[in-house]
Structure formats: structure tokens, C-alpha cells
Amino acid sequence: MARSLGVVVPAYRPDVAVLSEYVRAIEERLDPAEIRIELDAPAPSVTDRLRDLPATVAVADVRRGKGAAITHGFEALSTDVRAFADADGSTPAGALASVVDPVASGDAALAVGSRRHPESRVHSHQTYGRRWLGNAFAFLARLALSVPLYDFQCGAKAIDADAWGAVRDHLYEPGFAWDLELVAIADALGYRIDEVPIAWEDQPGSTVSPVGTSLALARALVVVRHRARRLDDHPLHAAIETYREDGTALVDRPKPNDD
């Protein structure tokens, strides 16, 4: 029996034409039970232009951050498999289907698209500095975490509904570090993770600051490593937990006003 699929596309200041074309491509290639566009703080004209797409458009009146938007979207789905893809279409629909396949077939609980895998095909417009920062962070993440991935931050991942039910209470990072935390927590809980090489094309016009985001990710890596090791009952990290609080998990935070 085929497993149902839901796809979440988090979007903040999207190129409406690119997003619209991408959503239609996902619908045609993957035929998901539901596509949700989690749209943060848009102008009314942007929302209106997306209403004719084969997708549920959930509009938040504030910028939640990528991780919080995906979490909200996953929580709204009732499908067997839940996937997300960045709104700029850097991961083509066919490549997203490749990421979904290991989870849909039951071979993995979490599948991670990878731009840095040796078998990936990358058509990049990135500057040398942006590529260097991305490669350096991936190297640090491999050293800090027990998951030997080439790429932790690629904007295409899929997870089994049961695995999502287990990891959801341990996710705190509302922004770009959410990807990193999802992988680390799934690994700490013993779920199988597959890294899937993909075709990928960097899109110009990103609103992400490479230096600022890299520094924020480096800080988050330390915290995420602690949370993952704590789940492994590592004695040092358990002792640290005695003296600190994580705050509130994303699924327990008040929801912003949305449509």
C-alpha cells in the first residue's frame, strides 16, 4: 500500500513566480496528498497571487523562522511521510522525489538531501566565500556530531510520521539550525538516516547573510550537540542539564496568528 506524502514549503519574501512554478512541479512529479506553503509576514498581494496553487497557503503574521515554519507545517499534516523543500526551487522536484523515496519505501526514517555528496550534481552560482563557509561548517558538524553526513543544511529532507512523533518534542531551533537539530536528534534516538545525493542549483538573490548565518549556526552546533548527547545519557551532558534550561520546544510555543 502506497504511503501518503505531505510537502511543506517554508517561504519568506519569496519570488512568487519561482515559488508558483516550483509548487506546480512538486504536484506533478510527486502527487502528494497535500502541499502546504508556510508563508511568513507577507504583503497581501503575495498571498493573493498564491491562492490558485494546488496548495494550502498558511499565512503567519510574523517571521517565525524556517524551522518554526516547517514544524508548524509538519504538525498540520496527517500523512505517513512529511517532506520539506526550500521555496527558491534549488532542489528540483525530481531531486526532492529522490529524497522522499527512502522514507516512502521504509528503508529510512529520515532522508537528507545532499549537495556535497560525491555523487551530487551541483550547478552553483555561489561565491567562493559562501561555498567556503558552507564547506567549513559541514566539516565542523561532522566533527561535533555522530552523524557522518556531507551536508546537514540542504533544504530538502523527508521524515517518517512515527519518527517525527518522536523527535518533535526535542526541537527548539526556530531558524536555519533546525535542519542540524533534526538530524542530530533523529540520530540520538536511533533512527536510520539516509543521505541522498541530489541535483541542485543555487538561486541568486538569497536573503540569507552568509557570515551572520554561519556564526549563528556555529553557536547552535554547540547547543544541538549537547541536546543530542543528553538523549544518549552522556554523563557530562546530563550534569550540564542540571544547571540549564532549554526553554520551550517549538511544538509547545504559542502559535502566531495565521490564516
Give mean pLDDT, residues 91-98.
Answer: 96
pLDDT score of 245 more than 60: no
pLDDT at residue number 235: 46
pLDDT score of 208 more than 80: no
pLDDT score of 131 more than 50: yes
Give the tens place of pLDDT for each residue, 30-77.
999 999 999 999 998 999 999 999 999 999 999 999 999 999 999 999
pLDDT score of 169 more than 50: yes
Domain 5-252: give its CATH code: 3.90.550.10
DSSP output for the chain: -PPPEEEEEEEES--HHHHHHHHHHHHHHH--SEEEEEEES--HHHHHHHTTSSSEEEEESS---HHHHHHHHHHH---SEEEEE-TT--S-HHHHHHHHHHHHTTS-SEEEEESSSTT-EEE----HHHHHHHHHHHHHHHHHSS---S-S--SEEEEEHHHHHHHGGG----STTHHHHHHHHHHHTT--EEEEE-EEEPPS-----HHHHHHHHHHHHHHHHHHHHHHTT-HHHHHHHHT------GGGSPPPPB-
